[in-house]
């Protein structure tokens, strides 16, 4: 049967099991939207293409299924770039469709022409410009395969307008093969054996778990390994949820704003077991002083990550879940009693802390209350800045896929659209967007999307009147010269909520926090909560950039 | 240290951009890159000469390998291989010096491929040493233009197989 390109796309999406698409129409994708009109696939009309990409990303992080995006050519496509880059940095499966001018018009600076495959080249896993409608179905199959297998990532398909209207014979390929793309299998038995031996001989081992644990669905396996071998676990921002954070073996997050305990543990460790993590500078601080006494086991699906930033003694290239399941029955239990005692005393001596003085709300307290009230079971999306770090420190995550944050790119404006995607993917969960007054204003147009699709997202804005994280750096490293970080006036957030027909609440004093949150969580629809918090609170502990993890400011680890 | 990489890629638009972009984006030094179709019209082969210590080159190879359009990457620096480069040089050649230039061309087993009023174009193929040497020898006459293809290389012996 012959179908038009647009029909082929919709059919292919249905075959891929896509039930939801985030997008925004325009001239170059009108034929595609015409076919979507008759499809059962739900289309979420965002209010800015950047938000479409972030929402698809949030959907993917929350559900594990690939996020799908459509934008028109030119400005529609370029508006996606930040969202695609955000997904790429955090290895999130996404397929983005962009309209393109018709094939004969390409290269002539035609109306709304942008070389989007060129522009996105450094921030995609792969991309296609479809030049032949006969290859369209195969291209879509390939894109989904690439986005979701191996180390996941965004794949872009650029669709010239005439391709969408040209007829071709349709058949959807079941199998596709690539000459240049292979998902790694299991590591060799010898490598597993050596890692097992190294673990058994270690005395001060630490598991350092990253986003790869979440994306490979290996949190259970990780926890089992940690429990069987009595090895403490610290996670990255992306790895939150790899182990319940109230677990006795959990040390919390490590790195720049990590716990003292996690940073001390890594620094005194004799064996770091990195699992689906990539030794980012926000985690390691100065590489020269990172885990100076440790041998390194590195489990990662991407062989290029192994040895990229630190020397690896025991490389285990393969899917995290598969490798953990190989290790689990074989692991030799090391003697870690003394080490665990040491860790327990660090935990006790250096807990996360802040001082509640005066009658201003401390932002940390807000997060603690959100955590308590939701029993750590909400799906949290964060913005970027202090709000993100306080959420990471004080929200104790219990399950994988429940802490959704832009880690690698650190994209302000991510959290609100990500909450849209997460809530659509998990309609029965409580989704809370922990936000900052700056970040919120980067994508607040999505309030309209939230209202249109009746998403009961709770938006908790830590309103400190500042680009707080930048202000913190200026305070600490630039002689309190607060250049361009005061945000005042912040619009009246309660009135803003009203303008969108959303419930708006405000808390000024510590005693307001709990009741306001209860009211918000009990409300069936979306709520914006304006937490007017102290303006000069800083995120501690803090490892100054490029410093050693043992030298933390404000961690009591003096 | 300089490394010679033999890279098989899908013969598709955009492949060169992906490879070149990777080098610039990750800050790797590329000395030369030569590319052309192989006996399989769907496959092109690149010869890349890149500079860096072992750790950098290991990253280059792994990152190249990650590109979907890259079928295979081999670092053939330490394998027995043949490498060649083609160079065209246009030199000033007034009649009085032509004899001398032709002698040099002879010694290097190069060829004269164009004779102008007061210029000659010389074609020379060889390994890097030879290319450098002929350039040096012709320099005193005045080099007007010079173009090189970049190195292409092939491992000696039977068809290269992954170990
Ligand atoms: C798109 C974007 N622009 C700029 C930055 C740099 N930046 C990092 S944190 C931050 C401040 C964020 O302010 P706000 O959202 O109010 O959060 P706070 O730190 O005050 O909690 C800025 C500007 C960024 N991360 N992303
Ligand atoms: Mg702020």
pLDDT tens digit sequence for A488-526: 999 999 999 999 999 999 999 999 999 999 999 999 999
A111 given a catalytic annotation: yes
- Which amino acid residue places its CA nearest to atom 3 of ligand 1? A412
- pLDDT bin (cut points 50, 70, 90) of residue A249 is very high
Q: Looking at the predicted structure, is the pLDDT value of residue A241 above 60? A: yes
pLDDT at A557: 43
Residue ranges of A 166-225 with Cβ closer than 8 A to chain B:
178-181
Nearest alpha-carbon partner for A548 in A267, A206, A135: A267
Smallest CA–CA distance from A179 into chain B, residue: B71
Q: Does A15 touch chain B (CB under 8 A)?
A: no
CB contacts, 8 Å: A117 with chain B: 14
A521 given a catalytic annotation: no
Rounded to the nearest integer, the mean pLDDT of chain B is: 94
**What per-residue string of b and e applies to A170-181 under the rule 16 or more CB within 10 Å gives b?**
beeeeeeeeebb
User: Rounded to whole angstroms, what are the CA distances from B132 to B48, B52, B97, B105, B148?
Assistant: 19, 22, 21, 13, 11
User: Rounded to whole angstroms, what are the CA distances from A551 to A154, A233, A280, A539, B17?
Assistant: 37, 21, 18, 15, 43
Please give the CATH topology (third level) of the domain spanning A189-349.
Rossmann fold (3.40.50)
Lay out the sheet containing A250-253: strands in order across: A250-253, A233-235, A205-209, A271-275, A295-300, A314-317
- For the segment B97-138, what is each residue's pLDDT rounded down to a tens digit? 999 999 999 999 999 999 999 999 999 999 999 999 999 999
Secondary structure letter of residue A296 according to DSSP:
E
A386 in ligand 1 pocket by Cβ < 6 Å?
A: yes
Nearest ligand to the CA of A415 is 1
CB contacts, 8 Å: A118 with chain B: 17
Question: Residue A254 C-alpha to ligand 1 middle, in angstroms?
Answer: 21
Please give the CATH topology (third level) of the domain spanning A363-532.
Rossmann fold (3.40.50)
pLDDT at B159: 76
pLDDT at A1: 84
Mean pLDDT of A401-426: 98
> Which residue of A118, A129, A178 is in closest CB contact with B68?
A178
> Which residue of B13, B25, B68 is in closest CB contact with A180?
B68
Peptide bond into A489 cis (omega under 30): yes
- Which amino acid residue places its CA nearest to atom 20 of ligand 1? A468
A412 in ligand 1 pocket by Cβ < 6 Å?
A: yes
> d(Cα A392, Cα A237) in Å, to the nearest integer?
7
Rounded to the nearest integer, the mean pLDDT of chain A is: 97
pLDDT at A533: 98
Kindly give the number of the ligand 1 atom that is closest to the alpha carbon of A437: 16
Catalytic option among A11, A35, A125, A161:
A161
> d(Cα A56, Cα A72) in Å, to the nearest integer?
16
A436 in ligand 1 pocket by Cβ < 6 Å?
A: yes
Q: Comparing A2-169 with A189-349, is the CATH topology the same?
A: yes
Domain boundaries, chain A: 2-169, 189-349, 363-532
Q: What are phi and psi of A236, to 5 degrees?
A: -85, 180
- pLDDT bin (cut points 50, 70, 90) of residue B160 is low
Nearest alpha-carbon partner for A366 in A436, A429, A460: A460
Q: Dmax over Cα atoms in chain A, in whole Å?
A: 73
Q: Which two tokens stand for residue A499?
A: 């303008």
pLDDT at A418: 99
> d(Cα A519, Cα A178) in Å, to the nearest integer?
54
Q: Looking at the predicted structure, is the pLDDT value of residue B163 above 80? A: no
Q: Looking at the predicted structure, is the pLDDT value of residue B161 above 70? A: no
Nearest alpha-carbon partner for A96 in A118, A115, A112, A77: A77
CB contacts, 8 Å: B38 with chain A: none
> d(Cα A260, Cα A557) in Å, to the nearest integer?
7
Secondary structure element (H or E) that encloses residue A495, with its range: helix A493-500
What is the number of other CB atoms lying within 10 angstroms of the CB of residue A183?
A: 12
Sign of the Cα pseudo-torsion (B56, B57, B61, B67, in order): positive
B interface with A, Cβ–Cβ < 8 A, is: 9-10, 13-14, 17-18, 21, 25, 55, 58-59, 62-63, 65-72
A542 given a catalytic annotation: no
Mean pLDDT of A440-465: 98
**What per-residue string of b and e applies to A335-367 under the rule 16 or more CB within 10 Å gives b?**
ebeebeebbeebbeebebebeeeeebbbbbbbb
- For the segment A314-342, what is each residue's pLDDT rounded down to a tens digit? 999 999 999 999 999 999 999 999 999 99
- For the segment A456-485, what is each residue's pLDDT rounded down to a tens digit? 999 999 999 999 999 999 999 999 999 999
Whether ipTM > 0.85 holds is: yes
Q: Which two tokens stand for residue A307?
A: 């040895």
- pLDDT bin (cut points 50, 70, 90) of residue B158 is confident
> d(Cα A509, Cα A360) in Å, to the nearest integer?
6
Mean pLDDT of A358-377: 97
Which residue segments constitute the domains of chain B, with CATH numbers given? 2-75 (3.30.70.260), 84-152 (3.30.70.1150)
Nearest ligand to the CA of A465 is 2
Secondary structure letter of residue A103 according to DSSP:
G
Q: Looking at the predicted structure, is the pLDDT value of residue A408 above 60? A: yes
Q: What is the CATH number of domain A2-169?
A: 3.40.50.970
pLDDT at A328: 97
Q: Does A145 touch chain B (CB under 8 A)?
A: no
A462 in ligand 1 pocket by Cβ < 6 Å?
A: yes
- pLDDT bin (cut points 50, 70, 90) of residue A236 is very high
Nearest ligand to the CA of A438 is 1
B12 vs chain A: nearest CA distance in angstroms? 11
Mean pLDDT of B86-103: 96
CA end-to-end distance (rounded Å), chain B: 24
pLDDT at A158: 98
A279 vs chain B: nearest CA distance in angstroms? 15
């Amino acid at each position: 049967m012959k179908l038009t390109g647009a029909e082929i796309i919709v059919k292919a999406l249905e075959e891929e099991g896509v039930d939801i698409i985030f997008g925004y129409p325009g001239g170059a994708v009108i034929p595609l939207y015409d076919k979507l009109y008759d499809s059962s696939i739900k289309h979420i009309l965002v209010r800015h293409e950047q938000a479409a990409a972030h929402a698809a990303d949030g959907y993917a992080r929350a559900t594990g299924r690939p996020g799908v995006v459509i934008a028109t050519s030119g400005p529609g496509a370029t508006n996606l770039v930040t969202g695609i880059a955000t997904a790429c940095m955090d290895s999130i499966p996404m397929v983005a469709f962009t309209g393109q001018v018709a094939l004969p018009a390409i290269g002539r600076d035609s109306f709304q022409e942008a070389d989007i495959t060129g522009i996105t080249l450094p921030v995609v896993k792969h991309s296609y410009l479809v030049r032949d409608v006969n290859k369209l179905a195969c291209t879509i199959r390939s894109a989904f395969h690439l986005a979701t297998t191996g180390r996941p990532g965004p794949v872009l398909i650029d669709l010239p307008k005439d391709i969408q209207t040209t007829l071709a014979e349709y058949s959807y390929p079941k199998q596709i093969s690539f000459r240049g793309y292979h998902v790694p299998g299991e590591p060799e038995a010898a490598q597993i054996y050596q890692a097992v031996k190294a673990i058994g001989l270690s005395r001060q081992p630490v598991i350092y778990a990253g986003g790869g644990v979440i994306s490979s669905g290996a949190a259970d396996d990780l926890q089992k390994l940690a429990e069987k071998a009595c090895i403490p676990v610290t996670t990255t921002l992306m790895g939150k949820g790899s182990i319940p954070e109230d677990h006795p073996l959990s040390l919390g997050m490590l790195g720049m704003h990590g716990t003292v305990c996690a940073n001390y543990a890594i620094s005194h460790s004799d064996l770091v077991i990195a699992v689906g993590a990539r030794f980012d500078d926000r985690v390691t601080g100065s590489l020269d002083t990172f885990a100076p006494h440790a041998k390194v086991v590195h489990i990662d699906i991407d062989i290029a990550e192994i040895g990229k930033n630190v020397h690896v003694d025991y490389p285990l290239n393969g899917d995290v879940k598969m490798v953990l399941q190989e290790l689990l029955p074989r692991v030799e239990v090391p003697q870690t009693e003394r080490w665990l005692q040491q860790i327990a005393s660090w935990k006790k001596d250096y807990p996360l802390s802040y001082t509640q003085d005066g009658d201003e709300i401390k932002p940390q307290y807000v997060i603690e209350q959100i955590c308590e009230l939701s029993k750590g079971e909400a799906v949290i999306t964060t913005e970027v800045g202090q709000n993100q770090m306080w959420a990471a420190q004080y929200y104790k995550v219990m399950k994988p896929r429940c802490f959704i944050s832009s880690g690698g790119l650190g994209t302000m404006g991510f959290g609100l659209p990500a909450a849209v995607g997460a809530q659509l993917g998990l309609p029965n969960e409580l989704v809370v967007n922990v936000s900052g007054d700056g970040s919120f204003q980067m994508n607040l147009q999505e309030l309209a999307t939230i209202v249109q699709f009746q998403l009961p997202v709770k938006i908790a804005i830590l309103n400190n009147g500042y680009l707080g994280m930048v202000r913190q750096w200026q305070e600490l490293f630039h002689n309190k010269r607060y250049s361009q970080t005061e945000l005042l006036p912040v619009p009246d957030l309660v009135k803003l909520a009203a303008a969108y027909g959303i419930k708006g609440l405000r808390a000024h004093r510590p005693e307001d926090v709990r009741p306001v949150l209860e009211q918000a969580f009990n409300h069936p629809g979306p709520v914006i909560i304006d937490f007017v918090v102290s303006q000069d609170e800083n995120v501690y502990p803090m490892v100054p950039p490029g410093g050693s993890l043992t030298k933390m400011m404000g961690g009591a680890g003096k | 240290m300089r490394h010679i990489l033999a890279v098989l890629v899908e013969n598709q638009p955009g492949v060169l951009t992906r490879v070149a972009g990777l080098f610039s984006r990750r800050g790797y030094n590329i000395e030369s890159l030569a590319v052309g179709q192989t006996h399989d019209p769907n496959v092109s082969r690149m010869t890349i000469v890149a500079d860096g210590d072992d750790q950098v080159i290991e990253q280059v190879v792994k990152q190249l390998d990650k590109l979907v359009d890259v079928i295979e990457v081999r670092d053939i620096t330490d394998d027995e291989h043949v490498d060649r480069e083609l160079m065209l040089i246009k030199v000033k050649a007034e009649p009085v010096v032509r004899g001398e230039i032709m002698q040099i061309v002879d010694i290097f087993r190069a060829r004269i491929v164009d004779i102008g009023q007061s210029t000659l174009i010389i074609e020379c193929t060889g390994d890097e040493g030879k290319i450098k040497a002929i350039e040096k020898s012709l320099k005193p006459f005045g080099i007007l233009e010079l173009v090189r293809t970049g190195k292409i290389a092939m491992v000696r012996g039977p068809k290269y197989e992954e170990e």
